[in-house]
Amino acid sequence: MSLKSKVTGLILAGGRGTRMGRVDKGLQPFRGATLVAHVMARLSPQVASVAINANRNLPQYQAVAGESPVLPDFIDGFAGPLAGLQIGLQFCPTELLLTAPCDSPFFPLDLAERLHAAMAAQGADMAMAVTMERDPEQPDAAPFRQPHPVFSLMKASVLPQLDAYLDTGARRMEGFFKTLKVAEVMFDDAAAFGNINTLEDLHRHERTAPPPAAPAAVAPRDADPAALPVDEAQRLICERIAPVEATETLPLLAALDRALAADIISPINVPAYDNSAMDGYALRGADLPAQGTATFKVIGIAYAGHPFTQAPQQNECVRIMTGAAIPPGCDSVLPQELAAAIDGDSVTIAANALRAGANLRRAGEDLKAGGIAIAAGKLLRPADLGLIASLGIPSVSVRRKLRVAFFSTGDELRSLGDKLDTGCVYDSNRYTLFGMLTRLGCEVIDLGVVRDDPQALEAALRDAAGKADAIITSGGVSEGAADYTRDIMALLGDVAFWKLAMRPGRPLAFGKVQTEQGSAWLFGLPGNPVAVMVSFYMFARPALLRMMGAEAKLQTLQARATEAIRKRPGRTEYQRGIVSTGADGVAQVRLTGAQGSGILSSMTEANCIVVLHHAQANVDAGQMVDVMLFDGLT
């Protein structure tokens, strides 16, 4: 398990704002966002999830937090950081809690990693950051050691000790820490832990660049802290999705593209007997000449399915065909083209033409009896059917077909055959989804087009949850006035996330719909055609494979970009490309042209997706990039 999945982040924003004109520090505008937004962007890559502790202006903090919780103190009266820590530990769903204040947007991106290493090495309950600093009023004085208790990583299990400490009426962080075993971690850059305490500090930092040691402290101006990084969204889906348990036994010829529910155990050795790897002559290796030549008498012929059962004697051999059983006493096969001479019923062999033991396929060399021939979870391909048949197994246990319901949303959509009114478009997404789901081997349930109406959408989701294991919608998950999917999901179940730091496909909802008739995982995909396909491949497809009990890893390879590609750090981008082999034999890729998320023709022209990762910037011509081939996906 990764460290990130073990840690919950807590932003401490529960103060009164007395130093900034009674306005909460976290809500102060700073470099195109709010202070708390910058801290959230800094903290999110290090933790599984983030919560904000605040005691007033909760709607404003919730607007920044998105789907993350905003937690007011359990203790009344603005009781300080320990009160925020208490509610954070009460909420914490992981084993560790990492804290940072809302007014310090420059802390290190490896804060959690370094604090955790010290905790583990010292067997501590918590770890805190420490720096060496100088008094600005006494610049010639020796530096002093400055602890930063609000930058701490601690075990969630310390909550009872904190509760007991707060019950005494004490509120000082130092007093509580004395009750724990604390590891202190020295950081070189004191400025990284500086806080913005006053309006003067805020204006000064607005005018100056971020500290050199923390150039990534500030997110891009249009970054959205509520937008989840792609890898984090994929991890959350993987953690929640489990295989469907129901299985069925099918004849081998009906099992193509189904996921094995149990290991295939080989009942026999494969091959079942020692056999020849080629046409030639079977003989005893001990009779091979050490020097000069030796002549062998041919005493018979062994065919595949018709073994020769007589054991050759010294300087005797057996003519043998590929796949035929090795005659008794023989341990080597001379390919006929390596014979020095062949004359009727005799064969001459030169020294060093053959090593003893060559050109045999030993019994059980491919599979041993009792060994695993194919592991559970494998999607059965044609070669797998052949292997299973070679074992004499006529039927297999597979996961039942996954039932997936899908529909499109939007008053502007028309089905094929309908009149296309002004302002309307034909619904292409359902046909794309039908193709991708069918190719994946799902049992598809097409629910058509659902209009932009909360009651209609709720009815469609209830209907789908009673019929399917998963639901896929297209459209209706952005922040437009007519986009209801996310709200209805929250009414009927839960929404794990609904906005991603990616392009195309930023609005994407994932959660669970639960009704009296049944429950189903829901993937609310965007409405633009390209975004639908990209979102399906990156999120829905791996999740559906996991539900099928099959391996769901996305495979990429590297190719050289033939042209410069523009890319903004802070989001993952998927661009359509055409990969080919360059003159030097190295894979190369070029874009298909315009990359708008509504240009479906770019997907038909492309044979791959160019994957530009979250932190990646512009790509120069000649630089290697990751690509995902459509072959195997589409």
Same domain, 28 and 58: yes
Confidence of residue 139 (pLDDT cuts 50, 70, 90): low
Is the peptide bond preceding residue 271 cis, with omega within 30 degrees of 0? yes
Same domain, 184 and 252: no
pLDDT score, position 211: 40
Outline where DSSP puts E strands in 72-202: 96-101, 126-133, 144-155, 182-186
Which tokens is 68 given?
A: 């993350």
Average pLDDT, the chain: 87
Cα–Cα distance measured from residue 149 to residue 127, given in angstroms and rounded to the nearest whole number: 9
Cα–Cα distance measured from residue 59 to residue 355, given in angstroms and rounded to the nearest whole number: 81
pLDDT score, position 480: 58
Sequence-ordered list of residues with C-beta below 8 angstroms from that of 227, at least 6 positions apart, any chain: 66, 499, 500, 501, 506, 571
Helix, strand or coil, per DSSP, at residue 512: strand
Residue 219 has pLDDT above 50, yes or no: no
* Average confidence (pLDDT) over 557-579: 91
Residue 22 has pLDDT above 70, yes or no: no
Domain end position, chosen among 496, 524, 547: 547
Which tokens is 599 given?
A: 């240009």
Same domain, 463 and 573: no
pLDDT (tens digit per residue) in 456-465: 889 999 999 9
**Domain count along the chain:** 5
Same domain, 596 and 502: no
Helix, strand or coil, per DSSP, at residue 524: strand
Same domain, 49 and 194: yes
Strand order in the sheet with 96-101: 70-71, 49-53, 7-12, 96-101, 144-155, 126-133, 182-186
Same domain, 381 and 256: yes
Residue 240 falls inside a structural domain: no
pLDDT score, position 494: 76
- For position 573, which CATH number holds? 2.40.340.10
Same domain, 141 and 196: yes
Sequence-ordered list of residues with C-beta below 8 angstroms from that of 452, at least 6 positions apart, any chain: 409, 410, 411, 476, 482, 483, 484
Count Cβ neighbours within 10 Å for each residue of 131-161 and write b for 16 or more, e otherwise. Answer: beeeeeeeeeeeeeeebbbbbbbbbbebbee
Which tokens is 596 given?
A: 């708008």
Same domain, 290 and 436: no
DSSP state at residue 223: -
Same domain, 156 and 113: yes
pLDDT score, position 213: 34
- Of 155-159, 176-180, 350-354, 391-395, the poorest mean pLDDT is in 176-180
pLDDT score, position 222: 43
Residue 509 has pLDDT above 70, yes or no: yes
Annotated binding site: 12-14, 25, 53, 73, 103
- For position 207, which CATH number holds? 3.90.550.10
pLDDT (tens digit per residue) in 174-206: 888 888 999 999 988 888 898 887 777 777 776
Annotated binding site for GTP: 12-14, 25, 53, 73, 103
Cα–Cα distance measured from residue 176 to residue 84, given in angstroms and rounded to the nearest whole number: 13
- For position 385, which CATH number holds? 3.90.105.10
Residue 134 has pLDDT above 80, yes or no: no
Residue 572 falls inside a structural domain: yes
Residue 180 falls inside a structural domain: yes
Give me the domain span that covers residue 91: 4-226
Strand 403-409 vs strand 470-474: parallel, antiparallel, or unpaired? Answer: parallel
pLDDT (tens digit per residue) in 404-437: 999 998 888 888 888 888 888 888 899 999 999 9
Domain end position, chosen among 399, 425, 450: 399
Alpha carbon of residue 261 to chain centroid: 23
- Of 104-108, 198-202, 559-563, the poorest mean pLDDT is in 198-202
Which tokens is 349 given?
A: 């062999």
DSSP state at residue 13: -
Same domain, 22 and 80: yes
Q: Indicate whether this model's pTM tops 0.85.
A: no
Residue 552 falls inside a structural domain: no
pLDDT (tens digit per residue) in 466-500: 999 999 999 876 655 456 676 777 678 777 777 88
Same domain, 417 and 446: yes
Q: Residue by residue, what is the 3-state secondary structure of 371-411? A: CEEECCCCECCHHHHHHHHHCCCCEEEEECCCEEEEEEECC
- For position 509, which CATH number holds? 3.40.980.10
Residue 301 has pLDDT above 90, yes or no: yes
Asked if residues 231 and 353 have their Cβ atoms less than 8 Å apart, the reply is: no
Confidence of residue 21 (pLDDT cuts 50, 70, 90): low
Q: Residue by residue, what is the 3-state secondary structure of 243-271? A: CCCCEEEEEHHHCCCCEECCCEECCCCEC
Same domain, 79 and 209: yes
Nearest Cα neighbor of 69 from 49, 41, 86 is 49
Annotated binding site for Mg(2+): 103
Helix, strand or coil, per DSSP, at residue 323: coil
Residue 214 has pLDDT above 80, yes or no: no
Asked if residues 592 and 605 have their Cβ atoms less than 8 Å apart, the reply is: yes
